[in-house]
Amino acid sequence: MDDLSGEGLSMGLPRRSGDLLQRDEIELPGRRDFLGRALGVTAGLVGVGLTTGTFATPAAAKPSGVQATQSSWRFCQKCFAMYYWGYPTDGVCPAGGAHSAQGYNFVLPYSVPATSTAQPDWRFCQKCFAMYYWGYPTDGVCPAGGAHSAQGYNFVLPHDVPATATAQDRWRFCEKCFAMFYWGYPTDGVCPAFGAHSAQGYNFVLPHW
Ligand SMILES: [Zn+2]
Ligand SMILES: [Zn+2]
Ligand SMILES: [Zn+2]
């Protein structure tokens, strides 16, 4: 069984920051542009109202929301990954067919500042619908074929804080496919790379309704 506090964390940190720096050099303009657009959404909501219909996404429609969040993220009971359930279809599951939602409706923050207990660069894969870590030079293994492909928000996910009645811990990064998966069962689901997912690094604590 992996150790939450030991080797995984110390191994993960130096490699991550190094890779992030490298990635920033390559992709900073694009990401900054993305952030700017996302912040524009927030400003529009707080201010007088919507300018044009460009951002008519229901995800941002929370009243008085200082923090931007998106709901409809779910646990897949077949592969154990976190995936976006807000579309008419359910993506591609490494266990076969589409993902299958069970349990909580997760409400995940995006475009907020990173902190020592909130990691940025978690993204939606438009090919398989999973939440995966985009902070490395490569994009893991996608069950739809090839690597994951990022679209939309830059999620900033809390980790290593206390679990509560509305925040579930034991969500982990899979070092093989880069997806976020639930590590709280005796087995570790189905990984598109091969076998089961393999946890590394932080213990994510994800808010839900
Ligand atoms: Zn699945
Ligand atoms: Zn994917
Ligand atoms: Zn995996």
Q: Which pLDDT tens digit goes with each residue over 138-163?
A: 999 999 999 999 999 999 999 999 99
Ligand nearest to the CA of 83: 1
Task: Return residues with CB closer than 5 A to ligand 1 (ion).
Answer: 76, 78-79, 93, 99
> Which ligand is closest to the CA of 96, given by its number?
1
Whether residue 29 is predicted with pLDDT greater than 80 in this model: the reply is no
Mean pLDDT of the chain: 79
CB of 168 within 8 A of CB of 104? yes
Measured distance CA(107)–CA(61) in Å, rounded: 13
What is the Å distance from ligand 3's center to 198 Cα?
6
Average pLDDT over residues 80-91: 98
Answer whether residue 47 is part of any domain: yes
pLDDT at 67 > cutoff 90: no
Nearest ligand, measured from the Cα of 145: 2
* Mean pLDDT lowest among 4-13, 135-144, 198-207: 4-13
Query: Ligand 1 centre from 168 Cα, in Å?
Result: 19
Q: Does a structural domain hold residue 91?
A: yes
Residue 11's pLDDT band, with cuts at 50, 70 and 90, is very low
Does residue 122 lie within any of the structural domains?
Answer: yes
Per residue in 35-61, is it b (16+ CB within 10 Å) or e — as a string?
eeebeebbebbeeeeeeeeebeeebbe
Q: Considering the chain, what percentage of its residues have pLDDT values greater than 70?
A: 68
Residue 63 counted as domain residue: yes
- Look at residue 96 and tell me if it is in a domain: yes
Q: Is residue 1 part of a domain?
A: no
pLDDT value of position 66: 58
- CA–centroid distance, 125 to ligand 2, in Å, is 5
Model confidence over 151-198: pLDDT tens digits? 999 999 999 999 999 999 999 999 999 999 999 999 999 999 999 999
Instruction: Answer whether residue 2 is part of any domain.
Output: no
What range does the domain containing 199 cover? 7-207
- Count the domains in the chain: 1
Query: What separation in Å is there between the alpha carbon of 38 and the centre of ligand 2?
Result: 22
Residue 18: per-residue pLDDT: 37
- Determine the pLDDT at residue 161: 98
Ligand 1 centroid–CA 128 distance in Å is: 9
- Which ligand has the shortest distance to the CA of 143? 2
